[in-house]
């Protein structure tokens, strides 16, 4: 089966115009692999993601580098749904950062996806798995549990989220709209996405370059 390889980049919205995100995303059948970078004002992030069938997360590797410090997170989900993390640190991180790693392993029960803060790519997996761009999306919003990776701390927290189809894929523009809600962080947005389920416009967070 052929693969679709995409090279995409985003910038922050007007309140954060200096933040840059870039990623290479390979979609093959019902799985994807991706790697990317993010540049913020005080730190830089690099990550690599691999899913198994059904776009379910298998492995996420994230590194954060600040001036005089760095952190690394190796996050794994086994086929039976158990999440584990290996963390490494060097230097002296800012004192207000939470410790890296999974905050409460039991809280991640039922989570199929990782969700990296500020990273538009990690919205793609639930969008594709739920068929939100297809001809017969779920009639109601779907409730999901995510393993949310906080940046720059690399703390992993439970995040309760909801996804719903809003506008079907428009053949003329190759874009559709998906409604995303994070109950945990009190965030709601209509995401404009392309035919591969990759975010084009995430209001107040990122817009495609």
| Cα(47)–Cα(64) distance, integer angstroms | 9
What is the separation of C-alpha 79 from the centre of its chain, rounded to a whole number of angstroms? 20
Q: What is the pLDDT of residue 50?
A: 98
Q: What is the pLDDT of residue 17?
A: 78
| Average pLDDT value over all residues in the chain | 95
Over residues 173-182, the mean pLDDT reads 95
Is the Cα dihedral 114, 116, 122, 123 positive or negative?
Answer: positive
Give the other-Cβ count within 10 Å of 137's Cβ: 19
The candidate with the shortest Cα–Cα distance to 79, out of 101, 98, 115, 52, is 52
Q: What is the pTM of this model?
A: 0.94
- Residue 18, pLDDT above cutoff 90: no
- Residue whose structure tokens are 């990122």: 206
| Cα(25)–Cα(156) distance, integer angstroms | 23
In terms of DSSP H, where are the helices of the chain?
124-129
């Amino acid at each position: 089966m052929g693969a679709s390889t995409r090279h995409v980049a985003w910038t922050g919205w007007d309140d954060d115009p200096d933040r840059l995100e870039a990623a290479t995303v390979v979609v093959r059948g019902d799985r994807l692999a991706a790697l990317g970078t993010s540049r913020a004002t005080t730190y830089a992030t690099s990550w690599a993601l691999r899913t198994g069938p059904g776009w379910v997360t298998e492995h996420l590797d994230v590194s954060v580098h600040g001036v005089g410090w760095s952190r690394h997170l190796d996050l794994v989900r086994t086929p039976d749904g158990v999440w584990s993390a290996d963390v490494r640190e060097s230097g002296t991180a800012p004192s207000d950062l939470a410790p890296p790693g999974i905050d409460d392993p039991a809280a991640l029960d039922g989570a199929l996806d990782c969700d990296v803060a500020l990273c538009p790519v990690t919205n793609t997996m639930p969008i594709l798995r739920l068929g939100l761009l297809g001809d017969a999306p779920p009639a109601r919003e779907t409730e999901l549990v995510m393993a949310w990776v906080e940046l720059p701390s690399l703390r992993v927290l439970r995040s309760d989220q909801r996804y719903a189809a809003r506008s079907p894929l428009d053949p003329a523009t190759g874009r559709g709209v998906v409604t995303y809600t994070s109950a945990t962080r009190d965030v709601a947005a209509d995401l404009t996405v392309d035919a591969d389920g990759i975010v084009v416009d995430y209001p107040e967070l990122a817009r495609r370059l």
